[in-house]
Amino acid sequence: MTRKTLSVLFLIGVNMVPLLGVIFYGWNLFSIMFLYWFENGIIGFFNVLKISRASKLSSSTSNITINGRPSNLSGAAFYVPFFAMHYGIFWVVHGVFVIVLFGLFGGQPFGGVGPPEIAGGFRGFEPGGVAIAALSLFLSHGVSFYVNFLKGEEYRNVSPDEQMFRPYGRVIALHITILGGGFLVGYLGTPLASLVLLVVLKTAIDIWAHLREHRKAEIRPVITI
Residue 203 predicted with pLDDT over 70: yes
Q: What is the Cα–Cα distance from 69 to 137, expressed in whole angstroms?
A: 37
Count CB-CB contacts under 10 A for residue 147: 18
Q: What is the pTM of this model?
A: 0.78
Percent of the chain with pLDDT over 70: 76
How confident is the model over 154-162, as a mean pLDDT?
Answer: 88
Q: What is the Cα–Cα distance from 9 to 3, expressed in whole angstroms?
A: 10
Q: What is the Cα–Cα distance from 6 to 142, expressed in whole angstroms?
A: 13
Q: How confident is the model at residue 108 (pLDDT cuts 50, 70, 90)?
A: low
Contacts of 112 (CB under 8 A, 6+ apart): 106, 119, 186, 187, 188, 189
